Amino acid sequence: MEFDLAIERTGSGCAVPDGRTRQRVAQLLLERGHATAAELAAVLGLTTHAVRKHLDALAVEGLVETREPAATAGRGRGRPAKAYRLTDAARDTFPHTYDNLAADALRWISRHAGPAAVGAFAAEQTARLEERCRTAMDGAGEEPLARATALAEALSAEGYAASASAIATGGQLCQHHCPVAHVAAEFPQLCEAETEVIGRLVGTHVQRLATIANGDGVCTTHIPARQTNRPVTGKSSVDNLRTRES
């Protein structure tokens, strides 16, 4: 889950959302069902104001909603404290058993049909992603970095929280979230198929430098600069050698 808007840097040079505090807020709401800002602050050791800022940000993102406070007999004067709870969208971001089911299915395929069958399955799954991204990238042009930027937008729409940037040696595509990271950690064929898709979509050979599935903070893909032919400005070394020999 990536709740916090603060940014930190990883060794790969890509920005990673630092969501520790908001993850803790969300986890508490998940465990309790609902809670006030003051109740959350007491558990987290923060001020109510600080917690309320996180709750407001989560509400803007559609991850938290307010709950009408229940009437309490004998309550003193003043309006009852506002209670918060997670939305269905926020609950969907927490781990499910789907990863376990997917891993079990791939283990079965590998056991009965071999690793090549796992690779074929991964290629078929990423082919659907490729088709959707290619449609979204229509009109991006032929330049690899421009296509990488369009691809980052398409992948973000798919839930990968992607970004693209220019670097000295070409371009860099960063994916801050991987929907299948836990399964891909055991079956690297998923990452390999995805890398091939990225290469086809940007129109050049690419290289994976880091993956979330391998324990890195970000999936980082290097996109080399397109080579240009240098104009001939003089004789080649072979021509010079022949001239001296003659």
Say how many residues make up the chain.
246
Q: Pick the residue with more confidence: 177 or 91? A: 177
pLDDT(178) > 50: yes
CB-CB neighbours of 21 under 10 Å: 17
Q: What is the pLDDT of residue 70?
A: 53
Q: Tokens 């992607």 appear where?
A: 162
What band does 14 get if pLDDT is binned at 50, 70 and 90? Answer: low
pLDDT in tens, 133-158: 999 999 999 999 999 999 999 999 99
114-128, 168-182, 222-236: lowest mean pLDDT where?
A: 222-236
Q: What is the pLDDT of residue 19?
A: 65
- 127, two tokens: 């082919």
pLDDT(57) > 60: yes
* Section 232-241 average pLDDT: 42
* Whole-structure pTM value: 0.58
